[in-house]
């Protein structure tokens, strides 16, 4: 017996969000001049139409796309949290200090092997080389004024 | 050959050294996500002020061409275009790397870049003045249709569902409207976030939408980022040359497209590579393989984006109008050197111009050995580095790269936010490429449309402005061909099978 094709629930959810976003974009376009609103309104209308058609097609002819890759949810959330913190703390704490802390934190969550004194030392040296090296290139060679906060 | 007597001037030890240095420096800078070819040239331009004008031009040309090629490394190995010109390289380059052919993709990119660069330089050498006049015939309406042409690529980037791709493209187009409108000055979709007044930065968006989702998925499993399916010694140059020779028409077509798009002021390598990719896919025997690791995709994009280097110099030198953003920086440097660009440059200062063009050709040829060596090293490094070091290193590059674009912390935050958005969109089945395409081409499309409409309205025929100009009609014909050719071919093939 063949399995019935699954509905693309994720895609339908995405299309529903697109309809809501399109409606919001259309509504806010009323604040713009005629010239300023014609393009966003056209695009918003097109997006809503495509999304409605997508939902209808997905319901009538179910064919779910390949499932997205699985994996550790907490590591994903932790990475996003660290990236967000990195982007916010740069100015307050300083580029180098924030980068060292965030680099180390991501290194810890990306590591699946058992920690040994040797691996810790190797990763520490590699991290120092990457952060220090790129910092030096951007700061001193490319003359990019990297932010300096409370620390460095 | 015009100005052949100046070839020896280009071959002085100093000029050769500058060409090598420029290609190496440009390639490395271009490979770092966030550092564009414009930045590579801008950062290194002060070093050229003390040089002779022809040597300075050779150094800048070499940096520029190296940076455009360097963008392919991170596109292939990390799914993050090092420069916007390499966006389309991710479509097939990264899938090739995922299946273990990253070294082949890098070598193909190198070969294609050299061929494209040489074709662009040849056009610059032979046909600069007439081609510059052609660039002047391009008005807002033609730019609008050119952007629409690029947008037709969405259908082929949609990985399974054209409708999902169209929705993604619309999301990108809407994201592109955020900020102060270029025509009319409306402040759109900014809300309380005043940092968005300038709109979303394309480079920060590229890094976020392409790179952050890869990082989020990399950290979630212990599997290696890239794997080698076979142990191959050397550069796989023979194999790559065989593939490139088989695709010589694709290479030639893409290089010519790159040169022509490069001539158009403001269009640049990203549009050139997207249009070339679209054309390569349209005429391919197996268009369904594009986007899954098809070498022809890498050849098309990399040859066309490097061809924009020579193409972009045509309006820069002949008209004083920069063809691409790095050309604008080079134009400024030329003014510092006391060179007056314009129609008489090729006759009045022929020694400087022809020495530079031959220097550019030499630099492009040098890109082959230099690019192969750097590319192999980059590939081996990415494969060998443990994930625990690779993930934070790439994360660090995304942060510093998005900051360095305009030294703006808000763009770092934009990059992270768009990265998370891109990952969520990916989980829902909406891939990054159509969104990025919409974001990049939306601004050009809207600006061209509104300007064209205003011109047409002033003439009393807004619609006629879009549909009666010969160049517009030619581009519209390509759009129609691009959209319906695959359908037509499928029908014809099906009919052929039935007849058999």
Give pLDDT tens digits for B343-361: 777 777 788 888 888 888 9
Give the A:B interface size as CB pairs under 8 Å. 208
**B493 CB-side CA count, 13 A:** 8
Q: B325-337 and B295-318 helices cross at what angle (nearest 10)?
A: 30
Cα separation, B239 vs B420, in Å, equals: 38
Short-list B82, B12, B86, B55, CA closest to B276: B86
pLDDT in tens, B143-184: 888 888 778 777 666 656 778 888 998 999 999 999 998 877
Q: What is the structure's pLDDT at B493?
A: 67
What average pLDDT score do residues B280-307 get?
89
Q: How far from the centroid of its chain's Cα atoms is residue A134's Cα?
A: 23
A106, A112, A118, A120: CA torsion to nearest 10: 20
DSSP secondary-structure letter at B24? H
What average pLDDT score do residues B130-150 get?
80
Mutating which of B148, B190, B418, B428 best tests the A interface, going by the most A Cβ atoms within 10 A? B428
| Torsion sign, CA atoms B169, B170, B171, B173 | positive
State how far residue A41 is from chain B, nearest Cα, in angstroms: 9
Quote the pTM value: 0.79
Q: Where are the alpha helices (DSSP H) in B264-408?
A: 268-283, 295-318, 325-337, 345-348, 350-384, 387-406
Q: Which residue of A has its CA nearest to B41?
A: A142
The yes-or-no verdict on residue B315 having pLDDT over 60 is yes
- Among B residues 41-60, those touching chain A with beta carbons less than 8 Å apart: 43
Q: How far from the centroid of its chain's Cα atoms is residue B83's Cα?
A: 7
The yes-or-no verdict on residue B63 having pLDDT over 70 is yes
Q: How far from the centroid of its chain's Cα atoms is residue B436's Cα?
A: 13
The yes-or-no verdict on residue B12 having pLDDT over 50 is yes
State how far residue B138 is from chain A, nearest Cα, in angstroms: 22
Residues in CB range of A111: below 8 A, 6 or more apart: A119, A123, B386, B387, B388
Strands B187-188 and B179-180: antiparallel
The minimal CB distance from A36 to the residues B173, B181, B217 is found for B181
Residues in CB range of B338: below 8 A, 6 or more apart: B53
Measure Cα distances from B450 to A25, B68, B140, B152, B198 in Å.
19, 31, 8, 20, 19
Q: Does A38 touch chain B (CB under 8 A)?
A: yes
Choice between B100 and B412, residue whose per-residue pLDDT is larger:
B412
Choice between A105 and A148, residue whose per-residue pLDDT is larger:
A105
Q: Does A52 touch chain B (CB under 8 A)?
A: no
The minimal CB distance from B167 to the residues A18, A138, A147 is found for A18
| Contact in structure between B116 and B72 (CB atoms under 8 Å) | no
- Structure tokens given for A8: 């693309």
Considering only CB atoms, which chain B residues are within 8 Å of A111?
Answer: 386-388
State how far residue B218 is from chain A, nearest Cα, in angstroms: 8
Q: Which residue of B has its CA nearest to A125?
A: B389
Q: What is the structure's pLDDT at B481?
A: 77
Specify the range with the lowest mean pLDDT, choosing from B5-9, B61-65, B289-293. Answer: B5-9
Please identify which residue in the block is written with the tokens 């040296």: A125
The yes-or-no verdict on residue B291 having pLDDT over 70 is yes
Collapsing DSSP states into helix, strand and coil, what is residue B33?
coil
Considering only CB atoms, which chain B residues are within 8 Å of A15?
Answer: 167
Q: Does A131 touch chain B (CB under 8 A)?
A: yes
Q: What is the structure's pLDDT at A28?
A: 92
Please identify which residue in the block is written with the tokens 């060292």: A100
Inter-chain contact B170–A22, Cβ cutoff 8 Å? yes
Q: Does B416 touch chain A (CB under 8 A)?
A: yes
B335, B336, B339, B341: CA torsion to nearest 10: -10
| Contact in structure between B171 and A21 (CB atoms under 8 Å) | yes
b/e map A126-149, b = 16+ CB within 10 Å: bbeebbeebbebbbeebebebbee
| Contact in structure between B379 and B234 (CB atoms under 8 Å) | no
The yes-or-no verdict on residue B49 having pLDDT over 80 is no
- Structure tokens given for B153: 């690529």
Measure Cα distances from A90 to A104, A135, B143, B170 in Å.
15, 13, 39, 33
State how far residue A115 is from chain B, nearest Cα, in angstroms: 11
Confidence of residue A1 (pLDDT cuts 50, 70, 90): very low
Considering only CB atoms, which chain B residues are within 8 Å of A80?
Answer: 216, 416, 420
- Contacts of the segment A25-32: beta carbons below 8 A, 24+ positions apart: A25/B174, A25/B189, A28/B188, A28/B189, A29/B188, A32/B181, A32/B184, A32/B186, A32/B188
Q: Does B136 touch chain A (CB under 8 A)?
A: no
Cα separation, B93 vs B281, in Å, equals: 15
In 10 A of CB B180, how many CB atoms? Answer: 15
The yes-or-no verdict on residue A22 having pLDDT over 90 is yes
DSSP track, B406-447: HT-HHHHHHHHHHHHHHHHHHHTT--HHHHHHHHHHHHHHHH
Q: How far from the centroid of its chain's Cα atoms is residue A47's Cα?
A: 22
pLDDT in tens, B102-124: 889 999 999 999 999 999 999 98
- Structure tokens given for B84: 């916007």
The yes-or-no verdict on residue B490 having pLDDT over 70 is no
**Average model confidence (pLDDT) across chain B:** 84
Considering only CB atoms, which chain A residues are within 8 Å of B388?
Answer: 107, 110-113, 123
The minimal CB distance from A15 to the residues B167, B183, B212 is found for B167
Percent of residues, chain B, with pLDDT higher than 70: 93
Percent of residues, chain A, with pLDDT higher than 90: 57
- Among B residues 288-347, those touching chain A with beta carbons less than 8 Å apart: none
Mutating which of B220, B224, B406, B408 best tests the A interface, going by the most A Cβ atoms within 10 A? B220
Q: What is the structure's pLDDT at B229?
A: 56
């Amino acid at each position: 017996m063949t399995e019935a094709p699954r509905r693309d629930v994720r895609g339908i959810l995405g299309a529903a969000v697109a309809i809501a976003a399109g409606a919001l974009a259309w509504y806010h376009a009323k604040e713009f001049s005629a010239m300023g609103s014609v393009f966003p309104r056209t695009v918003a209308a097109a997006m809503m139409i495509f999304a409605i058609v997508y939902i209808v097609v997905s319901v009538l002819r179910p064919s779910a796309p390949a499932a997205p890759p699985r994996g550790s949810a907490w590591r994903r959330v932790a990475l996003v949290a660290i990236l967000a913190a990195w982007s916010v703390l740069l100015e307050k704490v300083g580029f180098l200090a924030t980068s060292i802390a965030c680099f180390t934190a991501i290194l810890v969550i990306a590591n699946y092997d058992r920690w040994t004194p040797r691996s810790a030392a190797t990763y520490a040296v590699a991290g120092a080389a990457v952060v220090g090296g790129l910092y030096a290139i951007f700061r001193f060679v490319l003359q990019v004024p990297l932010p300096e906060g409370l620390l460095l | 050959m015009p100005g052949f007597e100046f070839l020896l001037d280009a071959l002085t030890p100093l000029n050769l050294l500058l060409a090598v240095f420029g290609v190496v420096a440009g390639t490395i800078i271009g490979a770092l996500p966030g550092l564009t070819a414009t930045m590579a040239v801008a950062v290194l331009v002060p070093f050229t002020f003390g040089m002779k004008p022809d040597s300075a031009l050779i150094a800048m040309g070499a940096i520029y061409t190296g940076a455009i090629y360097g963008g392919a490394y991170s596109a292939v190995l990390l799914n993050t275009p090092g420069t916007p010109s390499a966006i389309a390289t991710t479509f097939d380059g990264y899938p090739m790397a995922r299946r273990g052919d990253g070294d082949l993709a890098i070598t193909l990119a190198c070969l294609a870049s050299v061929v494209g660069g040489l074709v662009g330089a040849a056009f610059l050498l032979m046909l600069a003045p007439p081609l510059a006049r052609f660039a002047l015939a391009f008005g807002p309406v033609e730019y609008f249709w050119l952007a629409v042409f690029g947008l037709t690529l969405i259908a082929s980037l949609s990985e399974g569902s054209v409708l999902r791709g169209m929705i993604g493209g619309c999301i990108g187009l809407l994201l592109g409207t955020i900020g102060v409108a270029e025509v009319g000055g409306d402040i759109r979709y900014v809300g309380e976030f005043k940092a968005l007044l300038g709109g979303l930065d394309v480079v920060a968006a590229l890094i976020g939408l392409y790179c952050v989702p890869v990082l989020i998925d990399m950290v979630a499993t212990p599997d290696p980022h890239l794997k080698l399916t076979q142990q191959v010694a050397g550069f796989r140059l023979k194999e790559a040359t065989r593939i490139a020779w088989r695709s010589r028409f694709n290479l030639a077509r893409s290089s010519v497209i790159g040169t022509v798009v490069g001539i158009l002021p403001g269009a640049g390598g990203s549009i050139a590579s997207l249009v070339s990719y679209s054309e390569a896919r349209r005429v391919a025997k197996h268009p369904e393989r594009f986007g899954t690791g098809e070498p022809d995709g890498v050849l098309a994009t990399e040859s066309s984006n490097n061809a924009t280097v020579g193409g972009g110099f045509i309006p820069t030198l002949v008209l004083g109008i920069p063809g691409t953003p790095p050309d604008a920086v080079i134009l400024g440097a030329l003014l510092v050197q006391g060179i007056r660009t314009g129609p008489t440059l090729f006759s009045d200062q022929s020694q400087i111009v022809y020495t530079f063009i031959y220097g550019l050709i030499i630099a492009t040829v040098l890109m082959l050995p230099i690019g192969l060596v750097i590319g192999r090293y980059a590939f081996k490094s990415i494969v060998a580095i443990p994930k625990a070091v690779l993930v934070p290193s790439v994360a660090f590059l995304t942060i510093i790269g998005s900051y360095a674009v305009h030294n703006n912390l808000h763009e770092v935050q934009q990059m992270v936010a768009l990265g998370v958005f891109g990952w969520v969109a990916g989980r829902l089945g909406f891939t990054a490429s159509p969104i990025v395409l919409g974001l990049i081409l939306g601004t050009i499309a809207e600006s061209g449309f509104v300007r064209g409409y205003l011109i047409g309205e002033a003439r009393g025929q807004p619609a006629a402005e879009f549909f009666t100009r010969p160049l517009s009609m030619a581009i519209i014909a390509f759009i129609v061909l691009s959209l319906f050719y695959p359908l037509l071919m499928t029908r014809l093939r099906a009919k052929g099978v039935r007849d058999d």
